[in-house]
Amino acid sequence: MRKTYSIAIHGGAGTIRRVDLPSEKEREYRKYLQLALETGQKILQSGGTALTACTEAVVILEDCPLFNAGRGSVFTHEGEHEMDAALMEGEHLKAGAISLVKGVRNPIRLAKSVLLHSHHVFLAGKGAEVFAREHELAFEAPSYFADAFRKTQWQEALKTDQIQLDHSASWPDNKFGTVGAVACDQKGNLAAATSTGGMTNKRYGRIGDSPLIGAGTYANNKTCAVSATGHGEYFIRGVVAYDIACLMEYQGLSVAEASNRVIHQKQPQLGGEGGVIAVDGAGNVGSSPILNQIIG
């Protein structure tokens, strides 16, 4: 087994101006991002798999109400929480994804259960919840997910009937958004994980890019592992995660070059905003424009 490994995480796209972020809130963000990063690092350092490292790093962020995933998920138009998540490993191209799930404490754990224990790749809604109970995953009451800031955000959105990214610049006390992780373990295997509560005031069972394999989440040992965050509709249309892998496979671009081309050149042409983190089989990390990472 080689000694190198790497992991990168994200807590969503968008910019929070320092003037708008109280120092104590900034410390909280950094605390949980660092904890998630170190959790994944310890797993990789001890010879654990990229799949496990990504899952457990994302669990940390799902349990933190500061992020739009798990406990901090935004409100739908109906005042509920519909969560999405996906997980993929690059050795065998196995994937698990879930969407429109309510009450599951850690959606990424449910995505992992789908990957490991289901003949299917993507489960949604009530069926996914039944699957979660059959595999004894933890559930929480609606009050667990009902963060006060998210509720205010939703109520303001209702007044104008707007659907918005939770990191919209119009919010001075911004929270971060969708969370994700990518990793390369000591065997050179890759994995990617993404989890989100979606968009504030979303309606009609809207699903973004996060749980869609190839759009918001993708991993292939031949190229890279990618987790995306941003305006999901545009990331779906651009098949962003797979497009990055394709640029590496067919044009020979590095993971950094491919990530930058898709996010800074191709996505703006569609009108989308957001970012990605990505890692290749050598442990090289690419990000556009944000990341937290450890390379060992």
Residues 6+ apart with CB under 8 A from 50: 7, 44, 89, 90, 183, 184, 185, 189, 190, 191, 225
- Pull the structure tokens for residue 133: 């109970």
- Pull the structure tokens for residue 162: 């707007």
Of the residues 39, 55, 76, 178, only one is catalytic, namely 178
SS3 of residue 237 by DSSP: helix
- Pull the structure tokens for residue 77: 């138009």
Q: Prior bond to 289 cis, omega within 30?
A: yes
Q: Is 178 a catalytic residue?
A: yes
Q: Work out the burial of residue 4: count CB atoms within 10 Å of its CB; fewer than 13 is exposed, 13-18 middle, 19 or more buried.
A: middle
The values of phi and psi at residue 87, to 5°, are -145, 135
Q: Give the span between the Cα atoms of 125 and 104, in whole angstroms.
A: 11
Quickly tell me which residue has 């040992």 as its tokens: 221
Q: Give the span between the Cα atoms of 185 and 40, in whole angstroms.
A: 10
Q: Give the span between the Cα atoms of 290 and 10, in whole angstroms.
A: 7
The values of phi and psi at residue 106, to 5°, are -125, 95
DSSP string, 226-241: EEEEE-HHHHHHTTHH
Residues 6+ apart with CB under 8 A from 181: 7, 8, 9, 10, 36, 40, 53, 54, 57, 58, 192, 193, 227, 277
SS3 of residue 185 by DSSP: coil
- Residues labelled catalytic: 178
